[in-house]
Chain A
């Protein structure tokens, strides 16, 4: 069966520091992968999605970037974090009719 791994679970970073969150998927090939963010009091917002290696689509303008160096690896990055980047970040893959989510990373920028 397919599984999705996301780490770390929690992260506290100072403003201006870099960020790298990693997501890997097992048990499937060429998955569609997604990064979502849930800000405080908000729903989940789609940030990026990828339909293949090196293919990234950005949904909203922001301070973050994404990369897909391997088929089952999706990375969310920032060169300099802002306070507004705080939130709960979720990686997901889509198949059939739904999206399957990882456990999420709670990022607090201080």
Chain B
């Protein structure tokens, strides 16, 4: 039972354009969502997060949008840079659970071409 899904295994974007990574979830108890970035042979690093009381959170080139009614969130990267090439994981946490207890999606491989 995949509670967090990233249906696009990969995404290829030209440098300078927008990258949009999508994530869907099924568990209504999720109230906090995070995006992690992962390079090969390294642990994931935190990128940006959003609480369910918001519908948008912005940090520099990264913006996360949350549509609670559709149980959908997306990560926008503008402008995309070659250094953004990595695997991006969407994660969610249910209310009342411990901070690190996350449910992850399968990941999307982003490739940004120069």
| B105 close to A97 (CB less than 8 A) | no
| A101 close to B106 (CB less than 8 A) | no
| A32 close to B98 (CB less than 8 A) | yes
Taking CB atoms, residues of chain A closer than 8 Å to B67 are none
What's the nearest-Cβ distance from chain B to residue A74, in Å?
A: 11
Decide yes or no: A49 and B43 within 8 Å by CB, A43-B104, A98-B34 being known contacts. Answer: no
Decide yes or no: A94 and B101 within 8 Å by CB, A44-B44, A102-B43, A106-B41 being known contacts. Answer: yes
| A104 close to B43 (CB less than 8 A) | yes
| B98 close to A94 (CB less than 8 A) | yes
Nearest residue, chain A, Cβ from B48: A98
Decide yes or no: A46 and B98 within 8 Å by CB, A90-B43, A90-B44 being known contacts. Answer: no
| A97 close to B102 (CB less than 8 A) | no
Decide yes or no: A98 and B49 within 8 Å by CB, A45-B104, A49-B101 being known contacts. Answer: yes
What's the nearest-Cβ distance from chain B to residue A43, in Å?
A: 4
Chain A interface, >50% SS class: strand
Report the interface size class on chain A: 20 to 34
We find that the number of chain B residues with CB closer than 8 angstroms to chain A is: 24
* C-alpha spacing A44/B103, complex, angstroms: 8
Taking CB atoms, residues of chain A closer than 8 Å to B32 are 97
What's the nearest-Cβ distance from chain A to residue B88, in Å?
A: 11
Q: Is B8 an interface residue (CB 8 A)?
A: no
Contact with B along A72-101 (1 / 0, CB 8 A): 000000000000000000101111111111
Taking CB atoms, residues of chain B closer than 8 Å to A94 are 98-101
What's the nearest-Cβ distance from chain A to residue B40, in Å?
A: 10
Could you jot down 29 A-B contacts, CB within 8 Å?
Answer: A6-B43, A33-B100, A34-B101, A41-B106, A43-B89, A43-B105, A43-B106, A44-B89, A44-B91, A44-B102, A44-B104, A46-B102, A49-B100, A90-B44, A94-B100, A94-B101, A97-B32, A97-B34, A97-B99, A99-B34, A99-B102, A100-B46, A101-B44, A101-B45, A102-B43, A103-B42, A104-B41, A104-B42, A106-B41
A-B residue pairs, 5 tightest by C-beta? A94-B100, A94-B99, A101-B43, A99-B100, A43-B104
